[in-house]
Structure 1
Amino acid sequence: MKKEQNFSILIAGGGSTFTPGIILMLLDHMDTFPIRQIKLYDNDKERQETIARACEILLKERFPQVSFSYTTDPEKAFTDVDFVMAHIRVGKYAMREKDEKIPLKYDVVGQETCGPGGIAYGMRSIGGVLELLDYMEKYSPNAWMLNYSNPAAIVAEATRKLRPNAKIINICDMPIGIERSFATILGLKDRKEMICRYYGLNHFGWWTSITDKDGNDLMEKLKDYVKDNGYVVNTVDFQHKDPSWKDTYMKVKDVYALDPDTLPNTYLKYYLCQDYVVAHSDKSYTRANEVMAGREKQIFTAAQEIIDKGTAADCAFHVDNHASFIVDLARAIAFNTGERMLLIVKNEGAISNFDEDAMVEVPCIVGKNGPEPLAMGKIPIFQKGLMEQQVAVEKLVVEAWAERSYQKLWQALTLSKTVPSGETAKKILDDLIEANKEFWPELR
C-alpha cells in the first residue's frame, strides 16, 4: 500500500457500543492513517441505525470529506474495502447473560470468555466470524481483517483450522489496558515508552520482562506495587471503572503470588481463583447486567442525543483502548512500519517447548505481510501445564463445532480448569444447548 493512499474501512458489528470509539480514533489519526471511506455493517438493522446515524452526524461535522455509509447487505458492505475491523457479538448481551448465569447455577465461574461461558460464546462466534471472512474474500480479496471479536482464543483457533489461508489477524485490547496501568504505576506518559516481553494464550498469559527503551529494568518497581495493590490505579480508563473490574484488578496480587517472577494477565483469576470468583459473584446480577445498565445504556443514550440535537458537539462518545491498538495495527500493515505489537498468532516455534499449532499471544513485528512472531524461548512447567490444558479446551471446542460433536464439547467443558467434574460439565452443557438452540449447530 502506498503512502498517499487513502483507505476504505469497514467496521463489522456496526451496532456495537465500541463503534463510536473506533471511529473517533480513526479520525484522530487521519494525519498518519488517511481515510477516504468508513462503512458500517451489521445484521441487526435497528441496533446499527442508532449508532450509525449518530456517527454520520459526527463525521459530517468533523471530517466531511470522508464518505460514510451503513448497510445490512454484505455485498455493499464488503466491496471496495482495505481493512475490515470486526467486533461482532452473536446473540448480543442477552446471550452473554445466559453464558454467565448458567455456569453460576452450578457454582462454576460464569464469565464472558473463560470457562463454560467462553465456550458457549465461542460456539456462537465461530460461524459469525467465518461468514465475515468469506464475504471479505469474495468481495475484497486483498483486504485484511483485524478481528477482536471474542472469545478471541477460540475464534483464532477456528480461523487457523477452518480458514488457514485467510488474511486475518486476531487481537485483544486487554493487555493494552494493563500496560496502560503499568505506565501509570511507573510514572510514564505512555505505554509505548516500555518494551514488553509476554507469552501465553489470549486472556491467559504473563509478562516476563518490561524495560524502558534504553533497556533499564522496570519489572522490580512494578512487582513492588503489584504485590500489595494488584493493577488498581486511578486512571480515566473508561472501560474498566466498574466495580467488577476493580475487583479483578485487585485480585491480580493473589495470582501474582503464584509466580512472582512474572506479571499475570487479569483473566487468570478465573482459572486460578475459581472458588473466590464464584463466592464473590452475584448470580442474579452478573457482568452482563452491569454492562447493559452501564456502557450499553450510556452509549445508546449519547447516540440518541446526537440524533435529536442534530450535532455531535460535546458528545459523550469516548475513544476506547482497543481502538488505538487497531489503528496502530492497520497503519503497520498499510505502511510496513515494523511496529512491535502483541498479537494472537500460530506458535510455530515462538515458544520453543510448546505446541507448534497452538494459537499463542506473543510480541510480533508487523509489516505489509502481517505479523512475524518474536522468539520467547522455553517457558516454565507451571505456565506450560496450564497452557497445554487450555489449548486442548480451545481445540476441542473448534472440533466440536466443525464435527457437530456433543462428545467433544462435553470433553472441552470437562477439561476446562474452571469446571470441577465431567458430571457438572454435562449438566452445564445440556443447559447451554437449550439456551443456544438459535445459535449453535445441532450437536449429535
Structure 2
Amino acid sequence: MKLAVVGGGSTYTPELIDGFARLRDTLPVEELVLIDPAAERLELVGGLARRILARQGHPATVVTTADLDAGVADADAVLIQLRVGGQAAREQDETWPLECGCVGQETTGAGGLAKALRTVPVVLDIAERVRRAAPDAWIIDFTNPVGIVTRALLQAGHRAVGLCNVAIGFQRKFAALLDVAPEQVHLDHVGLNHLTWERGVRLGGPDGENVLPKLLAEHGDAIAADLHMPRQIVDRLGVVPSYYLRYYYAHDEVVRELRTRPSRAAEVAAMEKQLLEMYGDPALDEKPALLAKRGGAFYSEAAVALASSLLRGTGDVQVVNAYNNGTLPFLPDDAVIEVPAAVDATGAAPLPVPSLEPLYAGLVAHVTAYEDLALEAALRGGRDRVFAALLAHPLIGQYEYAEALTDRLIAHNREHLAWA
C-alpha cells in the first residue's frame, strides 16, 4: 500500500507518522511519500519519519520529493495538508480583519475566506494531477477550510473525503472523563466543518445510552473551560458546541481579546522553528511532546481510520466531511456537512440525523449560503464575488464592513489571486 502526503514537510507530519507506526495492523503502509517544495523542511521531517518508523519496527519505506507527479504516481491514497502562503499568510488572516472590528481567524470570517481563495485553486490543481497519475486514489483533505475545499473537490468529480480532528478530540476528552476506552464513545456530531455541536454522547454504539446529561452535570466546569465559554451557556444549550462556535456566540469578546495578544500564527511560527530544530536532532526518534501544542491532536488516528475504511471497504462509522444528500433536509444535496458516516470503498455515506433544532439549523443554513458564495469566489474570482461572500457571512453582514474587508483581503493576498 502506497500513501502520499502533499505538504509532507509540515511540522504536523510526525504526528501522522506516529499513527502509521502504531496502527500498522489497521493500515499496512508499505511506501510513504512525503511531497513538499520546501526541501530543507522536508529532509528534516523525512529523517524523523524514518527514525520513528525504525524505532517501532515498521518496515515502510519513506521517500521525500518535491516532484508532485512522481510522488503521487500509483498511490492508493493521497493526504493533502498544505498551507498556501505559510504562516505569514495566516498572520495576515488573523490581523487585518481586526482593523474592521471583525474576528481574525484562519478558517472563519474574512480570514477564512482569504484562505479559501488562496487554497481552492491550488488543491484542485493537485487533485487533477492525482487523477492523471493515480486515477483510483482516494484524496483525504485535511486542508482548511475543509468544508469548502472538500466541496470544491467533490464538485470537480474527485474521489475525496474531508477530515477534521474536532470530533475525535471530543471523543478522546469524553472517554477520559468517563474512564472508558475511546472506541466505546460515539458522538451525535452534527453541523458544518468548524461549526458543529455534540448533541449526544453514546456508550457502546450509535444507539447506546446518551450520557451527555451526566457529563454536563458532573464535568460541566471542565468542558466549559475547554470551550472558553461560561458554564451557564453550555448548560442552557444542553449540547457541547465546537470551540469554533465561540467566534459566533462571543464575537465581540473574542475581538477584544485578539487585539490585546500575539496572533496564534506568531505563536505557531515560533513553535515550528523550535520543532524543526528538534527534528534535526539525529537522536530524536519519536514525536516530541511540544508537537501536541501545535494543534492537530489525534489527527493521525482519524487519518489512519479513514484511509483504512476507504481502502479496505470496512464500512466503519466515522465523522467526516461529505455531501449532504438529504441528511439535513433544509440544505442542498451538494452542501458538504460534517456528521457520522459509513465509510467504505465507495466513499462516505452520512447516517441519518435527527431533525436539527432551529437554534442550530439557522446558523448552519446561513454559513452554508456563505460557503456557496465563497466557493464561487474561489473558482471564478472577482471583487464583487468576494464582497458578496463577505456580506453573506454571519460574522460580517454589513455592507460597510464587507467593502472595507474586501479591499484589505485583495491587498493582502494579491500575489495568490490570479485574477487580482
Normalising TM by the smaller chain, what interval?
over 0.9
Q: Deviations over 1:41-81 (max 9, x none)?
A: 11222332322233234445544732221111122111121
Does the C-alpha gap of structure 1 residues 343 and 313 become closer, same or farther in structure 2, counting only changes over 3 Å? closer
The one of 93, 97, 102 equivalent to 1:108 is 102
Aligned-pair CA distance for 1:377: 3.5
2: distance between equivalents of 1:209 and 1:122?
A: 31
8 Å CA contact 1:10–1:39 kept in 2: the answer is yes
1:299 aligns with 2:275: yes
Q: Which amino acid in the other structure matches residue 402 of structure 1?
A: L
1: distance between equivalents of 2:346 and 2:151?
A: 20
Aligned-pair CA distance for 1:186: 1.9
Correspondences of 1:156-195 after superposition (within 5 Å): 156-161=150-155, 163=156, 165-190=157-182, 192-195=183-186
1:357 aligns with 2:334: yes
Which residue is 2:114 aligned to?
Answer: 120
1:224 aligns with 2:201: no
The one of 117, 131, 136 equivalent to 1:137 is 131
Does the C-alpha gap of structure 1 residues 354 and 70 become closer, same or farther in structure 2, counting only changes over 3 Å? same
2: distance between equivalents of 1:253 and 1:333?
A: 39
Q: Which amino acid in the other structure matches residue 200 of structure 2?
A: S
Aligned-pair CA distance for 1:355: 2.5
2: distance between equivalents of 1:314 and 1:346?
A: 37
1:49 aligns with 2:43: yes
Please state whether the residue corresponding to 2:62 is helix, strand or coil: strand
2: distance between equivalents of 1:59 and 1:18?
A: 16
Correspondences of 1:36-435 after superposition (within 5 Å): 36-63=30-57, 65-161=59-155, 163=156, 165-190=157-182, 192-213=183-204, 215-225=208-218, 227-232=220-225, 249-251=227-229, 253=231, 256-257=234-235, 259-260=237-238, 262-282=239-259, 285-294=262-271, 296-306=272-282, 311-313=283-285, 316=288, 320-419=297-396, 421-435=398-412
Q: Which amino acid in the other structure matches residue 288 of structure 2?
A: A
Please state whether the residue corresponding to 1:418 is helix, strand or coil: coil
Deviates more, 1:280-289 or 1:431-440: 280-289
8 Å CA contact 2:168–2:298 kept in 1: the answer is yes
8 Å CA contact 1:103–1:116 kept in 2: the answer is yes
Identity %: 28
Q: Deviations over 1:101-140 (max 9, x none)?
A: 0011222101111111111111111012112211110101
2: distance between equivalents of 1:231 and 1:326?
A: 27
8 Å CA contact 1:113–1:150 kept in 2: the answer is yes
Aligned-pair CA distance for 1:188: 2.1
2: distance between equivalents of 1:416 and 1:223?
A: 31
Aligned-pair CA distance for 1:409: 1.2
8 Å CA contact 2:41–2:276 kept in 1: the answer is no
8 Å CA contact 1:401–1:441 kept in 2: the answer is no
8 Å CA contact 1:8–1:35 kept in 2: the answer is yes
2: distance between equivalents of 1:252 and 1:201?
A: 23
Which residue is 1:24 aligned to?
Answer: 18
Q: Deviations over 1:129-178 (max 9, x none)?
A: 112211110101111111111111221222233x1x21111110112112
Q: Which amino acid in the other structure matches residue 244 of structure 2?
A: Y
8 Å CA contact 1:156–1:170 kept in 2: the answer is yes
Does the C-alpha gap of structure 1 residues 104 and 405 become closer, same or farther in structure 2, counting only changes over 3 Å? same
8 Å CA contact 2:319–2:341 kept in 1: the answer is yes
Please state whether the residue corresponding to 1:276 is helix, strand or coil: helix
Aligned-pair CA distance for 1:313: 4.0
Deviates more, 1:297-306 or 1:390-399: 297-306
Does the C-alpha gap of structure 1 residues 258 and 401 become closer, same or farther in structure 2, counting only changes over 3 Å? farther
Please state whether the residue corresponding to 1:179 is helix, strand or coil: helix
TM-score, L = length of structure 1: 0.88
Q: Which amino acid in the other structure matches residue 345 of structure 2?
A: K
Q: How many residues align?
A: 413
8 Å CA contact 2:3–2:33 kept in 1: the answer is yes
2: distance between equivalents of 1:229 and 1:109?
A: 25
Q: Which amino acid in the other structure matches residue 402 of structure 2?
A: A
2: distance between equivalents of 1:356 and 1:254?
A: 36
1: distance between equivalents of 2:346 and 2:402?
A: 42
Deviates more, 1:195-204 or 1:87-96: 195-204
Gaps of 5+ in 1: 1-6, 233-245
Aligned-pair CA distance for 1:268: 0.7
Q: Deviations over 1:294-318 (max 9, x none)?
A: 3x13321211113xxxx43466266
8 Å CA contact 2:116–2:378 kept in 1: the answer is no
Aligned-pair CA distance for 1:10: 0.5
Which residue is 1:243 aligned to?
Answer: none
1: distance between equivalents of 2:54 and 2:318?
A: 32
8 Å CA contact 1:205–1:361 kept in 2: the answer is yes
2: distance between equivalents of 1:101 and 1:186?
A: 39
8 Å CA contact 2:18–2:53 kept in 1: the answer is no
Q: Which amino acid in the other structure matches residue 312 of structure 1?
A: L
Please state whether the residue corresponding to 1:436 is helix, strand or coil: helix
2: distance between equivalents of 1:334 and 1:414?
A: 41
Q: Which amino acid in the other structure matches residue 39 of structure 1?
A: V
1: distance between equivalents of 2:244 and 2:49?
A: 32
Please state whether the residue corresponding to 1:352 is helix, strand or coil: coil
Does the C-alpha gap of structure 1 residues 218 and 435 become closer, same or farther in structure 2, counting only changes over 3 Å? same
2: distance between equivalents of 1:340 and 1:270?
A: 29
Q: Which amino acid in the other structure matches residue 69 of structure 1?
A: V
Gaps of 5+ in 2: none
Q: Deviations over 1:350-384 (max 9, x none)?
A: 12333322111111011111111101142122211
1: distance between equivalents of 2:22 and 2:326?
A: 37
